Structure 1
């Protein structure tokens, strides 16, 4: 039965962690975003995140987006810098048409830092991207 379930490969959907200036608190914050670089809208987007290493695991954070329009992005969460010493995973599930897609994005420990910034598609900012 399991062999009959087809979950297609995810392309054009990314997770980015961006260092941004917060005008309200006048601080530099790290924020996680989901990016839809596809030419179609994503429906019922479910995101489950947590951080972990050999001895610690953070609480689980869940977010749901009814729709993520084509060629757009949405903020997932604010990330504390202490989390970057852990592996941070983002499990993303969504529907495109009538098909379900699922992918786990992983930011390995200590890979999110100011030295690793690169251009982020659609956002016109610099950050760390996982495809």
Structure 2
């Protein structure tokens, strides 16, 4: 039965962690969904959570859910702010959306310590620096 489902492959969709503001005391980070397609995506549902090991103990953050009605082609949407203290965990974003009547979904996972300056790029569409998973 599962073999009868269409294999809708997610392409040209990215999740990015962007450095918004930096001061001597702190850095402010936001997570964005980037639609690199030329067409809109609709009825977007995103779940986010963090999990992993910190100081020898298993840690889990709350699971958050976000809903967006539409993201136009070649544009972005803010998902949530993210705290630097979670960068040592797996930060998972499960994105589901529709194009027409077809549903697509994909997990994007920022592994521990992947959100570091050595991995920064200039993020497309956003024109900010950060880390992106496509």
Measured in 2, the distance between the counterparts of 1:39 and 1:93 equals: 18
Aligned twin of 2:29:
30
| TM-score normalised according to structure 2 size | 0.90
Say which of 104, 107, 116 aligns to 1:104: 107
Structure 1 vs Structure 2 CA RMSD: 1.7
Aligned twin of 1:14:
14
Measured in 2, the distance between the counterparts of 1:126 and 1:81 equals: 15
Q: CA deviation at 1:27?
A: 5.2
Matched, 1:90 2:93: yes
Q: CA deviation at 1:118?
A: 0.6
Measured in 2, the distance between the counterparts of 1:35 and 1:80 equals: 20
Aligned twin of 1:130:
133
How many residues are matched? Answer: 129
- SS at 1:66 equivalent: strand
Matched, 1:75 2:90: no
- SS at 1:9 equivalent: coil
| TM-score normalised according to structure 1 size | 0.92
Return 5+ residue gaps in structure 1 as ranges.
Answer: none
Measured in 1, the distance between the counterparts of 2:133 and 2:98 equals: 20
- SS at 1:105 equivalent: strand
Measured in 2, the distance between the counterparts of 1:112 and 1:76 equals: 17
**Structural mapping, 1:34-45, within 5 Å:** 34-45=33-44
